């Protein structure tokens, strides 16, 4: 499982240009915090300095439940954040529940990240539950001499869930590169597991707005309305299945932040020669922003 599992934060926030609201916060400080927040969470907040952001995603059919809570300093720096995602897939005989929890905290040297995830298969008839996988991860986002995140390192343990299985330990790192405009250009991940060796590339439009991210497993495309507000996010992720999510915003607050969006989810098999099925779900995202000013 890749280190950048903090995708729970990705696509729930947006990149911002922070105005200087507090005298003790210089333009350089705001710019640095803006860039670090983008590395950590792909945050693209349009205007204002958020004090806290709370996001919830819920599916009427129970397939997806997500909660995100983050807090920021008056200079726009992320103090801490938590995210939890639960997906529940129902088959003919079993119910599979996958849970991932992530916590980010500011430390003296950068940000620490902790991740816990597990998958449970429950038999509908016997109600017997079996653990399919379990992973714990600890890592750090490290700052360079300019106070910008340039590297992340992690160590994870994948627990053996069968009687004869042994726990596996994996280590990985991510190196971040920036373009001539100071925007994140790429994140190159290397690790002891094959899935951790990949690069994510970031593309922007002429207004420095994120329009595309691409890695071997995931493609994201962002769309904006005539006022420059984030309107759509299309995300296609390919592992054992192909999962496509189309998020369309239909309500914004006075700062231009999306506060309500509709999410259409379509899941199909990767093997086109196999028996075809299409699993569709819908979810609603709601967000609440509290600002310093």
Return the structure tokens found at 154.
Answer: 């992690």
Beta bridge partners of 248: 232, 262
Torsion of CA 114, 189, 75, 208, to 10 degrees: -140
pLDDT value at residue 23: 46
Phi first, then psi, for residue 271 (nearest 5°) are: -90, 105
pLDDT in tens, the chain (293 residues): 333 444 444 434 333 333 334 447 898 998 899 999 999 987 776 678 899 999 999 999 999 999 999 999 999 999 999 999 999 999 889 999 999 999 999 999 999 999 999 999 999 999 899 999 999 999 999 999 999 999 999 999 999 878 888 999 999 999 999 999 999 999 999 999 998 999 999 999 999 999 999 999 999 999 999 999 999 999 999 988 899 999 999 999 999 999 999 999 999 987 766 566 789 999 999 999 999 87
CA angle (213, 196, 150) in 5-degree steps: 65
CA distance 189 to 172: 7
Return the structure tokens found at 168.
Answer: 């596996």
> 264 with 60: CB under 8 angstroms?
no
Nearest CA to 93 among 123, 120, 121, 132? 123
> 20 with 26: CB under 8 angstroms?
yes
Return the structure tokens found at 25.
Answer: 């916060």
pLDDT value at residue 273: 61
Torsion of CA 210, 220, 258, 256, to 10 degrees: 10
pLDDT value at residue 21: 43
pLDDT value at residue 276: 67
CA distance 190 to 194: 9
**pTM for the full model?**
0.87
> 270 with 240: CB under 8 angstroms?
yes
């Amino acid at each position: 499982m890749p280190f950048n599992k903090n995708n729970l934060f990705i696509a729930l926030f947006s990149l911002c240009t922070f105005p200087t609201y507090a005298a003790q916060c210089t333009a350089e400080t705001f710019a640095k915090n803006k860039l670090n927040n983008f590395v950590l969470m792909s945050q693209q907040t349009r205007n204002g300095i958020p004090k806290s952001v709370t996001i919830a995603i819920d599916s009427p059919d129970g397939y997806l439940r997500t909660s995100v809570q983050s807090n920021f300093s008056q200079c726009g720096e992320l103090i801490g954040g938590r995210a939890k995602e639960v997906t529940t897939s129902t088959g003919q005989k079993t119910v599979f529940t996958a849970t991932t929890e992530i916590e980010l905290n500011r430390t003296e040297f950068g940000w620490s990240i902790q991740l816990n995830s597990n998958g449970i298969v429950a038999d509908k008839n016997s109600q017997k539950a079996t653990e399919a996988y379990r992973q714990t991860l600890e890592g750090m986002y490290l700052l360079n001499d300019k106070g910008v995140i340039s590297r992340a390192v992690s160590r994870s343990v994948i627990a053996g869930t069968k009687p004869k299985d042994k726990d596996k330990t994996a280590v990985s790192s991510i190196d971040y590169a920036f373009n001539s405009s100071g925007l994140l250009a790429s994140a190159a991940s290397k690790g002891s597991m094959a899935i951790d060796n990949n690069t994510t590339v970031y593309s922007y439009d002429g207004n420095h707005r994120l329009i595309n991210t691409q890695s071997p497993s995931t493609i994201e495309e962002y769309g904006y309305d005539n006022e420059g507000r984030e309107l759509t996010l299309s995300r296609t992720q390919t592992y054992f299945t192909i999962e496509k999510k189309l998020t369309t915003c239909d309500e914004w607050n006075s700062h231009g932040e999306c506060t309500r969006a509709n999410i259409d989810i379509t899941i199909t098999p990767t093997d086109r020669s196999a028996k075809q099925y299409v699993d569709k779900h819908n979810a609603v995202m709601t967000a609440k922003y509290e600002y310093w000013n």
